[in-house]
Amino acid sequence: MSNRRKNLNWLNVYAVVYMVFLYAPVVLLPIFAFNSATIIAFPLSGFTTEWFGVLWTTQALHDAVWNSMLVSVSTAVISTVLGLFAARAVARYTFPFQRGIMGLVMLPLVLPEIIIAVALLIVLIQLGLSLSLWTVVLGHVLVCTPFSIAVLSSAFRGLDPSMEEASFDLGETHWGTFRRVTFPLVMPGVISSLLITFTISLDEFIIAFFLTGTEVTLPVYIWSQMRFPTKLPSIMALGTILLALTVALLILAEFFRRRSATRRGLDASTTEGLI
Amino acid sequence: MLDTEKPHARTIIELDGVTKNFGAVQALKGITANIREGEFFSLLGPSGCGKTTLLRMIAGFDDPTTGTITIDNKAMAGIAANHRPTNMVFQSYAIFPHLSVADNVGYGLKKRRLPKAEYKREVEQALEMVDLGGYGPRAAHTLSGGQRQRVALARALIMKPKVVLLDEPLSALDKKLRDQMQLELRQLQRSVGITFILVTHDQEEALIMSDRIAVMFDGQIEQLATPEELYRRPVNQRVASFIGVMNFLEARATKSSETHVSLDVQALGKIDIPRAGLPDGMKPEEIHRVGVRPEMMTILIDGAPSAERIVEGEVVETSYYGDMTYYSVRLNGLEAPVTISMRNTAGRAVLRPGETARVGFATDSIIVFR
């Protein structure tokens, strides 16, 4: 009995240490964002919202945010559409070399991004294409599609194949079946896929750094600002805003997932349809 | 149930030499059968016999490798499921979980672009037909198993198909509900008069519900007959052992005349049977084995009542079912015990294992098959 309690104590300590290590740096972000000193160090000197004001007036940042939005939204939509097709095909059909083909499609998941970035750069230059935000989208789609396939495959696995057959049997066309039955039923997976690919694309640095032309995405912009110590506090402020947005997005995603799970008669606390 | 048989009804589905290969495996080896308009037809067989494959090909989800399927005088080759006059009730019911009950039932009707009032009326009528009147606005996922099945039926019937296809529709229900749904399904089929084709592995279910049954093994129809004929005159040993319980006894013909065949049956002795009792085209010298149903034998207690023929044996096992008692009896001169079922009428004693039983039977209860 005492032995078990001892084990429990050690587990508690481990859990707390782990959480602190994971989240303490994240908590530092908003703390220094509201600190009036330009040096990132304790003790804190005073409260200010000045750094947020700086963000508000920095045109280059606004451009970077806009570029990132363009890239991330395009990547999310394109890779989710591609993922939808691939996941549907894998779940419903068997075709020659299925495993090999899927292995190749999923490979970017484990390939170092620097290799993808350099390889793509060489190919693009050889093709004589000029670098732009669209070449970044190209690279991001390559990296994000495997995530999308993974998320959507589980959504399709949870889908009874006779649902589609029933619709077809009742006189609906293939496209009508997809629109009226398949898509609504894998909707939670589609939303998860959009959110995940959006997030991956939004904070991706290496590919964006290599493949962009004169327009920079947000991570590249942040990296470029890190060289100037005076800009650090406003980077903290920017980080704080991104953190708040991410949390809000996650809560929203979870809300939608639970609502659809309830509608489908699943226990809302299950993770089915999320990943 | 025999009176509902419609031998003169016209053919609604014609299967002609239908085969299906999956790679090197031949799942169906030439199915030829006619299904009549308005009948309740069952495809009965163990799992893997090809019955579901056949049903799916009638529905249009799969194409035959060779052979033709004709529905309502129209060849179905090249016609996809969404253009066939058939509708299916799936084993999982496949109720669309994101739609209401009414939207599920009206799913196929939406394509027909009816006026709103007419659409609503049709859906409500279909729901009432399956005793779910007023359930329309409910969310589909709140329904119980039995209710889901009714919704699946209403969703198929509202399309006014020529044929309703049912793929093991009762296998997901518990025993009580299944018994009730068997009768309801049968009544519903009679009242709408639409041809139903049921796929099942449950012989009891097939016997209760069907006008005619096709018993399938290994991708072939072994026997196509009414339930009564199947039970009383199975054509071969496989069908005989699949439908109900059958005791098999070694036998050989010792003598045959124009009208009768004399058999020497293991443990039962010499028995004369009419020649008409042999399956079509079977010669007396081909007889190796005969069968007796458990209820065709009687355990005689205190010598009464009497029977045409009596043999003795020892009770090996007694299984008491309340209304019935099943005995395992080792007849004198026989290694394997036979099964005998007795109705537990008032005052009837139940024999215990080890007791000697006097077993009576009538010679006309002997079934000859290949």
CATH number of the structural domain spanning residue B301: 2.40.50.140
Angle at A44 between CA A240 and CA A28, to 5 degrees: 30
pTM: 0.80
B219 and B254 assigned to the same domain: no
Cβ-contact B136, B124 below 8 angstroms: yes
Spatial CA neighbour of A101 closest among A152, A146, A154, A41: A146
Whether B238 is covered by a domain: the verdict is no
Q: Do B139 and A170 touch (CB under 8 A)?
A: no
B229 and B249 assigned to the same domain: no
Asked if residue B54 has pLDDT above 70, the reply is yes
Whether B240 is covered by a domain: the verdict is no
Closest CB from B59, B111, B142 relative to A171: B111
Residues on chain A touching B92 (C-beta within 8 angstroms): 160, 162
B260 and B176 assigned to the same domain: no
Closest CB from A169, A180, A181 relative to B88: A169
Cα B338 to its chain centre, rounded Å, is 24
Spatial CA neighbour of A117 closest among A207, A34, A252: A207
Spatial CA neighbour of A242 closest among A199, A196, A193: A199
Residues on chain B touching A188 (C-beta within 8 angstroms): none
Asked if residue B117 has pLDDT above 70, the reply is yes
Could you tell me which residues come within 8 angstroms of residue B249 by beta carbon, excluding any fewer than 6 positions away? B265, B266, B267, B268, B289, B290, B291, B292, B334, B338
Last residue of a domain, one of B203, B233, B263: B233
Structural domain harbouring B321:
245-370
Write the DSSP assignment of A147-201 as a string of letters. Answer: HHHHHHHHHHHTS-HHHHHHHHHTT--HHHHIIIIIHHHHHHHHHHHHHHHHHHH
B224 and B296 assigned to the same domain: no
Residue A101 pLDDT? 86
Q: Which residue of A has its CA nearest to B100?
A: A263
Give pLDDT < 70 ranges for chain A: 1-7, 257, 260-275
Q: What tens digit of pLDDT does each residue of A9-38 get?
A: 888 899 999 999 988 888 888 888 887 777
Whether B239 is covered by a domain: the verdict is no
**Which residue out of B62, B71, B83, B98 would a mutagenesis test of the A interface target, given it has the greatest number of A Cβ atoms within 10 Å?**
B98
Based on the structure, what is the number of domains in chain B?
Answer: 2
* Structure ipTM over 0.90, yes or no: no
Over range B129-141, report the average pLDDT. 89
Residue B1 pLDDT? 40
B219 and B305 assigned to the same domain: no
Amino acid letter at B218? D
B315 and B363 assigned to the same domain: yes
Q: Do A181 and B96 touch (CB under 8 A)?
A: yes
The residue ranges of every structural domain in chain A are 50-263
CA distance B81 to A171: 7
B290 and B185 assigned to the same domain: no
Q: CB-based contact (8 Å) between B59 and chain A? A: yes
Q: How many Cβ contacts (< 8 angstroms) between chains A and B?
A: 68
Whether B94 is covered by a domain: the verdict is yes
Q: How confident is the model at residue B227 (pLDDT cuts 50, 70, 90)?
A: very high
Whether B161 is covered by a domain: the verdict is yes
B206 and B99 assigned to the same domain: yes
Q: Which residue of A has its CA nearest to B62?
A: A165
B261 and B325 assigned to the same domain: yes
B227 and B305 assigned to the same domain: no
Whether B273 is covered by a domain: the verdict is yes
Report the CATH architecture of A50-263: Orthogonal Bundle (1.10)
Residues on chain A touching B168 (C-beta within 8 angstroms): none
Whether B332 is covered by a domain: the verdict is yes
Residue with tokens 């009544």: B187
Residue B334 pLDDT? 86
**The two structure tokens encoding residue B16:** 């002609």
Residues on chain B touching A165 (C-beta within 8 angstroms): 61, 81, 88, 90, 94
In percent, how much of chain B has pLDDT > 70? 97
CATH number of the structural domain spanning residue B151: 3.40.50.300
Can you point out the beta strands (E) in chain A?
none
Q: Do B97 and A263 touch (CB under 8 A)?
A: yes
Q: What tens digit of pLDDT does each residue of B209-223 get?
A: 999 999 999 999 999
